[in-house]
Chains A and B, each alone.
Chain A
């Protein structure tokens, strides 16, 4: 606690150290992950059987909206920003972020925004209940009365401001603060993934801010941006919303591509195969990801040519994604693989995220999407992307980098139980949703036709096991931080700067002296 000279909460309120801020992001994310998780379990409990059992329809709608909002804005994105905050400066050989005070401010906007969002559950009328997509007319003043929707808008604004400030910091840090000899194409892939994600966030987030500001003025100041009666168009909101929210999917998965690249390389003890193609694939996914937003809107009555263009562009994303998958397999091929928990989560990601990617290609087809739109097939797809993609990646990164953050390994015994229970339960929860969707079960409903009952019960059992299994990671973190096996500076034998040139945990300014990078290529051994 040397940086601020203050103790306790005041220290954390004023710290500008990127590592502490990174850990604070991770802790913030952990809290909101459990809040979002409890909401998921409420949803699954209600859906265990047809009919209304535990909650009424209005509260169920609030839970679906808030579960997604918390998981996306306050759990997944901050967790990835947290890992980026901690490791990007070290990986590129910098003593800190370019704007340390801005970094502190970016973080502290996040818990206040989350608290505001959580508080909306307790105001008269309850929280926002029209889904995280906030489509008008469901969210206009007539159908979403009360302050809950306004608090949602304000909280998303604040979280967005936090994101924008953070992204400026990441981009400037990576462009200007690299150590001597660390050219862009020697940066570890995690740093590349954060740079590209930051660009996506910077371009897309202000658009969301614009959309919800227009929604706010429609609700309270007599404008009619989204109201046909006043010359507006509700489809305009969908266009602007998805211009942010489709890139948001990539914001939540590109850093994970970076994480698993690091994990595969270190735990298979080989440099990443096809480094340059991995970088270009990341960039290609980001660029294409910005141009495909309207594939969420095939059913609004879009022009056929536009549907074809968005369909083909979306399917094109499978090409760079395929490049990454094959490069990961080639990295593993012939490697001296250690089946650590970090590696197991990364392998689980590779297998299951590919399923999520394939169901995405299915949904990209406009005629198929007409059948599947707003069914549980979409719920299955998005959870294979976010849970077995983003969540598995974050867990892989946590098990991989925990020794660097704390100087102690996470318990591998608890970790493997955590992995296998998670791997099995996540498939029991989400795989049957593909079938429910194909049978026609609509999403975001509290009650359903009894023909869907058996599969829904199976999903609920899986969700309960999955939810309670996550207590293991909390226990593992707090237990291992105190009693875990001590880790050396290079805990896994990695070849990136966080392993080769810093202690575990790194000291205040990361390096004794700024390193000079003399590798020929990324992931090759250092000689200094």
Chain B
């Protein structure tokens, strides 16, 4: 393999790794976004948490 081929392969490898990381990060982020939307209660504007387990403020 010539030095030009080697550096081309290195660039190709780096680009492939970057694409893979970006796709995995997008999947991870969307998973968390979906779960947060379904499980965590929104913060009420009046402050504090609207927990059903605590007396209302």
Cβ of A449 under 8 Å from chain B: no
| Residues in A207-247 with C-beta less than 8 Å from chain B | 207, 210, 224-225, 228-233, 235-236, 239-240, 243
List A contacts of B50 (CB < 8 A).
Answer: 231
Q: Are B35 and A172 in contact (CB under 8 A)?
A: no
Cβ of A176 under 8 Å from chain B: yes
B38 CB → nearest A CB, Å? 8
Nearest to B9 among chain A residues (CB) is: A176
Cβ of A13 under 8 Å from chain B: no
Q: Are A176 and B28 in contact (CB under 8 A)?
A: no
Q: Are A207 and B53 in contact (CB under 8 A)?
A: no
Q: Are B20 and A171 in contact (CB under 8 A)?
A: yes
Question: A235 to B17, alpha carbons, bound, how many Å?
Answer: 34
Question: A99 to B17, alpha carbons, bound, how many Å?
Answer: 10
Q: Are B51 and A229 in contact (CB under 8 A)?
A: yes
Question: A210 to B35, alpha carbons, bound, how many Å?
Answer: 12
Cβ of A168 under 8 Å from chain B: yes
Question: A224 to B39, alpha carbons, bound, how many Å?
Answer: 12
Question: A525 to B9, alpha carbons, bound, how many Å?
Answer: 29
Q: Are B17 and A168 in contact (CB under 8 A)?
A: yes
Nearest to B43 among chain A residues (CB) is: A231
Q: Are A203 and B28 in contact (CB under 8 A)?
A: yes
Q: Are B16 and A172 in contact (CB under 8 A)?
A: yes
Nearest to A232 among chain B residues (CB) is: B40
**A176-B9, A176-B16, A224-B49 known; A239 vs B35 contact (CB < 8 Å):** yes
Cβ of A344 under 8 Å from chain B: no
List B contacts of A210 (CB < 8 A).
Answer: 28, 32
A95 CB → nearest B CB, Å? 9
Q: Are A243 and B31 in contact (CB under 8 A)?
A: yes
Q: Among A172, A233, A243, which residue has its beta carbon within 8 angstroms of that of B40?
A: A233
Nearest to B28 among chain A residues (CB) is: A206
Q: Are A231 and B51 in contact (CB under 8 A)?
A: yes
Q: Are B16 and A240 in contact (CB under 8 A)?
A: no
Cβ of A474 under 8 Å from chain B: no
Q: Among B16, B20, B39, which residue has its beta carbon within 8 angstroms of that of A236?
A: B39
List B contacts of A497 (CB < 8 A).
Answer: none
Cβ of A202 under 8 Å from chain B: yes
List B contacts of A176 (CB < 8 A).
Answer: 9, 12-13, 16
Question: A339 to B1, alpha carbons, bound, how many Å?
Answer: 42
Q: Among B25, B32, B41, which residue has its beta carbon within 8 angstroms of that of A231?
A: B41
A234 CB → nearest B CB, Å? 10
Cβ of A522 under 8 Å from chain B: no
Q: Among A206, A207, A233, A514, which residue has its beta carbon within 8 angstroms of that of B39?
A: A233
Q: Are B12 and A239 in contact (CB under 8 A)?
A: no
List A contacts of B36 (CB < 8 A).
Answer: 236
Q: Are B20 and A202 in contact (CB under 8 A)?
A: yes
List A contacts of B1 (CB < 8 A).
Answer: 514
**Per-residue B-contact encoding for A434-471, CB less than 8 Å = 1, 0 else:** 00000000000000000000000000000000000000
Nearest to B21 among chain A residues (CB) is: A168
**Per-residue B-contact encoding for A290-305, CB less than 8 Å = 1, 0 else:** 0000000000000000
Cβ of A358 under 8 Å from chain B: no
5 new A-B contacts at CB < 8 Å, known A172-B17, A203-B28: A175-B16, A228-B53, A230-B51, A231-B43, A240-B32
Closest 9 CB pairs of A and B: A231-B49, A236-B39, A231-B41, A206-B28, A233-B39, A98-B13, A202-B24, A172-B16, A172-B13
21 chain-A/chain-B pairs, Cβ below 8 angstroms: A168-B17, A168-B20, A172-B17, A172-B20, A177-B13, A203-B24, A203-B27, A207-B31, A207-B32, A210-B32, A225-B40, A228-B53, A229-B51, A229-B54, A231-B41, A231-B50, A232-B40, A233-B40, A236-B36, A239-B39, A240-B35
**Residues of B bordering A, CB below 8 Å:** 1, 9, 12-13, 16-17, 20-21, 24-25, 27-28, 31-32, 35-36, 39-41, 43, 49-54
